[in-house]
C-alpha cells in the first residue's frame, strides 16, 4: 500500500489587488505531500516561496489534491499578491516547523543563535526523499554514540518522508522526518539539525512536532498528579491563549506526563475526534496548545526549551527526540488502543516483549531496610509454596545501608545483612524453584558513600551553591562517560556474581543545581539532555549485555513512565501507591496512552502503607491483574485467609493475562467522573474471549445491581459468561449490558466471556 504521495502542482488563482484596484491572476507552484494511514491523512506543502505549510491532519480522505485548504486564492497576505505584508503572511499561515523571529508570533518549533547572538531563524524548503521503513535516531557525542529511543518501523509496515530545510542565515540543514504506518493510525515525527558550515551555532529550541489545526473547538486532555497519584486525567476546553504542561525536573515527572490529546468537545470513549501526542523522551519536556487570534489551534511538543541550548560544531549534528501522533475518529478509546498496539508491537523490545512476566514478591513493604538472608529466604519459602515465581530484593542490600541516608554509589554487597554473600542467597532462592531479582538506583550518589568521598565533583552541582539534598542523596553527572563506566563496572560485577534474572532500576529524586564540572560554561545548558542520553547509554549496555534479564524501570514510583523508558524495559512501576482504590484512577489514566502490559502492579498489605485503607484481598488482586501482577507484602505474616487466596489469584492471572497483555482495552466507566464505581474489559484480537472487571468503590443504599454495557465484542458471536453460565450475543452484551451485583464498599468481580461456536 502506497502511503506517501508526492504531487507537483501548478495552481492558478485570481485575487483582488487593492493597490492596483483590480483583479489580477497569479500562480503558485508547490509540492504537495500526503501521508496516509488506515484511518487518517496528513498533508503538507512546500510553497514556491520556500515555506513549508501544514495542509491537513484528520480523518482519511483519498482526494488527490488538498491544497485548496491553504486558501491561497483568498488570502490577501499571500506573498505573490501582497509582498508588503509578509509579516502578516507569516503570522497567519499554518506552518509545519514554525520558527522564531521573522513574523510568526505564535509558539515556535525551532530557533538557533549564531556566533553574533542573533536569534531570528528562517527555514526554506530544499528537497525531499522517501525511505521505505524507518531510520533509527542517533546522537553522536564526543566519546560515544547514543541511540535515542524510537518506535521501530520495517519497510513492510512503514514509510518515511524526509524533508530537508535550510536555515537562511547560517546555512544549517534541518531535516524533518515523518513516518506513516501502514496498519496503525500513527505518524511519528523527529528532526536532525546539521551544521554544514564552518562556524558553530546553538540550537535553543527544537520541538519534535508542531501541528496547526483549523479550529479551536477542542478539549485539552493531560495526565497530571504527584507522587502516589500519578497520571490523573484532566480535561478542559481550550481558550484563547496558551495551555501547557512541562517538566523541568530532569525526568518526565510525577506531576505531568509527556502525553497530551486534543479531542472534540463531545468526544467520549467510542465517538468523536481525538488527536493524541506522546514524546518518546525521559527528560525535561514541553507540550502546549495555543488558540490564536484567528481561532485556530497550534500544538507543539518536544524537549523543554527553558535553560536548554546545544552547540552544533561544524560537521556535527543534533538529533531531536521523536514524537508519536495518533488520530482517531472513533473516540478516545480507539486512540488509546492505537497507542497500545504501537508500543507493544514497535517500541518494547527484548525477550519479554510478547511474554508473560513472572509473578514476583518484592520485600520493600514487607521489611523496608530491616532484613537479612534468613528473612528473605523465609519469605521465599512461603512464596514458593503459594506459587509465586520470583523474589525481588529491594533497597538496603549494599554498602552499609540501613536507611536511605547512605551508600548510593557503593554497589557492593553488605555481608552483615547478606551473610554468606549474594550467590549463596540467590542459590538458596533458586533451589526453591524461584527466580531472583535485585534493586539498583544507579543514577544516584549519597554524601555518605565511598564514591562521593573519592569523587565529590561527580555529583551534579553549581559552583558556589550548596547542593540540595533530597532523600539525603545527590544525582550523578551522567553526562560524563567515566562516571557511567564506573557505575557499570560495579553493576556488572554484581550481575556476574549470581543468577540474577530481574532488575528494578529506580530514581528517587530530581535534578537541582544543574551544572557539570566537566562541561565548559558556554555548554552548561546541554547538561539536561546529556544526562538523559547518559541514562539511555547505560540502559542500552544493560539490555544488550544481559538480554535475558527482565528490566523494570521506576522513579519514586511513576515519575518516569514514558515511551523512552519502555524502549529499554517492557514494564515500569506505575506508582508507589499500591492501594487498590487509588490504583483505579492511576491505572485508568495511565491506560489512556500506555498498555496494561507495561504497568507494574502488585497486591500489597493492609492497612495500605500509603493511604491507610483496608480493602478485600480479592479486590487488591483483581485490580493488580490489570498490570504485570505480583506481591508487595510479608507473606509470612499475613492472615491465613489472605495467604490461602494467593494460589487462586495466580491461577486467574495466568489464565487472564494473555488477554490483558495482548488484547484490546476498553474503559467502561469513568472513575474520574464517578468515584463510586469503575469497570473495564480486555478483548482478544479475534474477539473470541474477553475478561471483564468491575469494582464497587462505595456501596449504594436500597439497590445494589447495575447494568454495564460491554464493548469490543463481535455482535454476531455468542458468548458464555463464567459467572452465570448463560449465553448471550455480543449485540446483547454491548447494547443491553451485563448485571453487576456488588454490595458494600471496595467489592469487585471478574467475569470471563468466551465464544460459543
What is the C-alpha separation between 445 and 460, in angstroms, rounded? Answer: 10
What is the C-alpha separation between 342 and 363, in angstroms, rounded? Answer: 33
What is the C-alpha separation between 401 and 608, in angstroms, rounded? Answer: 25
Kindly report the backbone phi and psi dihedral angles of residue 16, in degrees, each rounded to the nearest multiple of 5, phi listed first. Answer: -70, 120
Out of 395, 410, 477, 576, pick the active-site residue. 576
In whole angstroms, how far apart are CA 249 and each of 148, 230, 289? 20, 15, 21
CB 291, CB 238: distance < 8 Å: yes
DSSP 117-162: ------EEEEEEEEEES---EEEE-SS-EEEEP-----TTTEEEEE
In whole angstroms, how far apart are CA 674 and each of 163, 227, 625, 678, 695? 47, 22, 22, 8, 12
User: CB-based contacts of 520: which residues, under 8 Å, 6+ apart?
Assistant: none
Strands 317-328 and 274-280: antiparallel
Please list, residue by residue across 9-22, b when 16 or more beta carbons sit within 10 angstroms of its beta carbon and e when fewer do.
eebebebeeeeeee
For residue 63, indicate whether it is catalytic: no
User: Dihedral of CA 205/207/213/218: which sign?
Assistant: negative
For residue 576, indicate whether it is catalytic: yes
In whole angstroms, what separates CA 12 from the centre of its chain? 45
What is the C-alpha separation between 54 and 45, in angstroms, rounded? Answer: 6
| Number of separate helices (H) and strands (E) present in the chain | 13, 40
Closest CA to 584 of 453, 459, 471, 674: 674
What is the C-alpha separation between 282 and 703, in angstroms, rounded? Answer: 47
Q: What is the 3-state secondary structure (H, E, C) of 479-491?
A: CCHHHHHHHHHHH
Kindly report the backbone phi and psi dihedral angles of residue 430, in degrees, each rounded to the nearest multiple of 5, phi listed first. Answer: -60, -35
In whole angstroms, how far apart are CA 640 and each of 60, 62, 746? 58, 64, 21
What is the C-alpha separation between 167 and 125, in angstroms, rounded? Answer: 9
What is the C-alpha separation between 508 and 187, in angstroms, rounded? Answer: 34
Q: What angle do CA 538, 539, 542 make, to 5 degrees?
A: 90
3-state SS class at 228: coil
Out of 506, 577, 605, 664, pick the active-site residue. 506
Strands 474-475 and 444-445: antiparallel
CB 698, CB 678: distance < 8 Å: no
In whole angstroms, how far apart are CA 652 and each of 457, 621, 689? 51, 10, 14
Active site residue ranges: 506, 576
Amino acid at each position: 500500500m502506497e502511503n506517501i504521495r508526492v504531487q507537483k502542482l501548478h495552481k492558478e488563482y485570481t485575487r483582488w489587488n487593492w493597490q492596483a484596484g483590480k483583479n489580477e491572476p497569479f500562480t503558485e507552484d508547490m509540492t504537495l505531500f500526503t501521508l496516509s494511514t488506515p484511518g487518517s491523512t496528513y498533508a503538507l506543502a512546500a510553497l514556491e516561496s520556500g515555506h513549508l505549510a501544514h495542509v491537513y491532519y484528520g480523518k482519511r480522505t483519498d482526494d488527490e489534491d488538498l491544497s485548496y485548504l491553504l486558501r491561497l486564492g483568498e488570502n490577501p497576505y499571500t506573498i505573490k499578491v501582497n509582498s508588503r505584508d509578509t509579516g502578516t503572511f507569516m503570522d497567519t499561515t499554518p506552518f509545519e516547523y514554525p520558527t522564531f523571529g521573522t513574523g510568526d508570533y505564535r509558539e515556535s518549533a525551532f530557533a538557533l543563535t549564531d556566533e553574533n547572538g542573533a536569534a531570528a531563524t528562517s527555514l526554506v524548503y530544499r528537497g525531499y526523499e522517501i525511505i521505505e521503513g524507518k531510520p533509527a535516531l542517533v546522537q553522536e557525542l564526543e566519546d560515544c554514540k547514543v541511540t535515542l529511543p524510537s518506535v521501530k518501523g520495517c519497510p513492510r509496515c512503514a514509510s518515511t518522508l524526509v524533508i530537508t530545510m535550510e536555515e537562511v542565515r547560517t546555512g544549517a540543514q534541518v531535516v524533518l522526518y515523518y513516518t506513516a504506518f501502514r496498519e496503525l493510525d500513527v505518524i511519528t515525527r523527529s528532526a536532525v539539525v546539521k551544521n554544514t558550515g564552518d562556524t558553530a551555532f546553538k540550537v535553543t529550541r527544537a520541538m519534535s512536532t508542531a501541528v496547526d489545526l483549523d479550529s479551536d473547538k477542542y478539549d485539552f486532555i493531560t495526565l497530571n498528579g504527584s507522587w502516589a497519584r500519578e497520571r490523573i486525567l484532566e480535561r478542559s476546553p481550550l481558550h484563547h491563549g496558551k495551555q501547557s504542561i512541562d517538566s523541568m525536573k530532569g525526568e518526565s515527572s510525577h506531576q505531568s506526563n509527556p502525553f497530551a490529546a486534543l479531542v472534540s468537545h463531545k468526544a467520549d470513549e467510542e465517538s468523536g475526534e481525538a488527536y493524541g501526542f506522546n514524546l518518546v523522551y525521559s527528560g525535561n519536556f514541553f507540550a502546549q496548545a495555543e488558540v490564536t487570534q484567528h481561532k485556530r489551534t497550534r500544538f507543539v511538543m518536544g524537549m523543554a526549551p527553558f535553560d536548554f541550548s546545544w552547540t552544533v560544531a561544524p560537521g556535527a549534528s543534533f538529533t531531536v527526540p521523536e514524537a508519536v501522533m495518533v488520530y482517531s475518529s472513533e473516540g478516545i478509546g480507539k486512540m488509546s488502543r492505537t497507542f497500545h498496539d504501537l508500543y507493544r508491537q514497535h517500541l518494547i523490545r527484548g525477550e519479554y516483549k510478547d511474554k508473560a512476566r513472572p509473578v514476583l514478591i518484592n520485600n520493600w513493604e514487607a521489611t523496608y531496610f530491616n532484613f537479612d538472608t534468613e528473612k528473605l529466604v523465609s519469605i521465599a519459602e512461603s512464596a514458593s509454596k503459594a506459587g509465586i515465581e520470583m523474589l525481588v530484593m529491594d533497597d538496603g542490600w549494599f554498602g552499609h545501608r540501613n536507611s536511605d541516608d547512605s551508600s548510593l554509589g557503593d554497589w557492593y554487597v553488605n555481608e552483615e545483612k547478606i551473610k554468606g554473600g549474594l550467590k549463596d542467597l540467590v542459590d538458596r532462592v533458586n533451589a526453591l524453584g524461584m527466580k531472583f531479582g535485585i534493586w539498583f538506583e544507579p543514577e544516584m550518589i549519597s554524601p555518605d558513600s565511598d564514591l562521593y568521598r573519592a569523587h565529590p565533583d561527580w555529583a551534579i552541582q553549581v559552583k558556589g551553591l550548596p547542593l540540595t539534598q533530597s532523600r539525603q542523596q545527590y544525582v550523578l553527572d551522567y553526562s560524563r562517560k567515566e562516571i557511567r563506566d564506573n557505575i557499570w563496572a560495579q553493576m556488572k560485577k554484581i550481575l556476574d556474581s549470581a543468577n540474577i534474572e530481574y532488575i528494578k532500576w529506580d530514581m528517587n529524586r530530581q535534578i537541582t543545581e544543574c551544572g557539570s564540572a566537566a562541561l565548559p560554561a558556554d555548554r552548561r545548558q546541554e547538561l539536561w539532555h546529556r544526562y538523559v542520553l547518559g541514562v539511555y547509554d547505560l540502559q542500552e549496555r544493560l539490555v544488550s549485555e544481559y538480554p535475558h534479564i527482565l528490566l523494570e524501570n521506576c522513579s519514586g514510583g511513576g515519575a518516569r513512565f514514558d515511551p523512552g523508558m519502555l524502549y529499554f524495559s517492557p514494564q515500569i512501576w506505575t506508582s508507589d501507591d499500591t492501594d487498590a482504590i487509588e490504583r483505579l484512577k492511576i491505572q485508568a489514566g495511565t491506560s489512556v496512552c500506555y498498555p496494561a502490559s507495561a504497568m507494574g502492579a502488585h497486591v500489597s498489605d493492609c492497612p495500605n502503607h500509603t493511604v491507610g485503607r483496608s480493602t478485600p484481598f480479592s479486590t487488591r488482586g483483581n485490580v493488580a491483574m490489570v498490570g504485570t501482577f505480583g506481591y508487595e507484602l510479608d507473606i509470612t505474616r499475613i492472615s491465613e485467609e489472605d495467604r490461602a487466596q494467593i494460589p487462586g489469584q495466580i491461577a486467574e492471572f495466568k489464565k487472564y493475562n494473555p488477554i490483558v497483555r495482548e488484547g484490546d482495552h476498553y474503559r467502561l466507566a469513568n472513575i474520574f467522573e464517578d468515584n463510586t464505581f469503575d469497570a473495564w474489559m480486555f478483548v482478544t484480537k479475534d474477539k473470541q474471549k474477553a475478561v471483564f472487571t468491575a469494582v464497587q468503590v462505595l456501596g449504594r443504599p436500597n439497590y445494589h445491581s447495575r447494568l454495564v454495557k460491554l464493548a469490543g465484542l463481535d455482535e454476531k458471536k455468542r458468548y458464555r459468561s463464567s459467572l452465570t453460565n448463560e449465553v448471550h450475543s455480543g449485540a446483547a452484551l454491548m447494547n443491553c449490558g451485563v448485571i453487576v451485583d456488588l454490595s458494600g464498599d471496595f467489592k469487585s468481580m471478574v467475569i470471563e466471556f468466551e465464544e460459543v461456536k
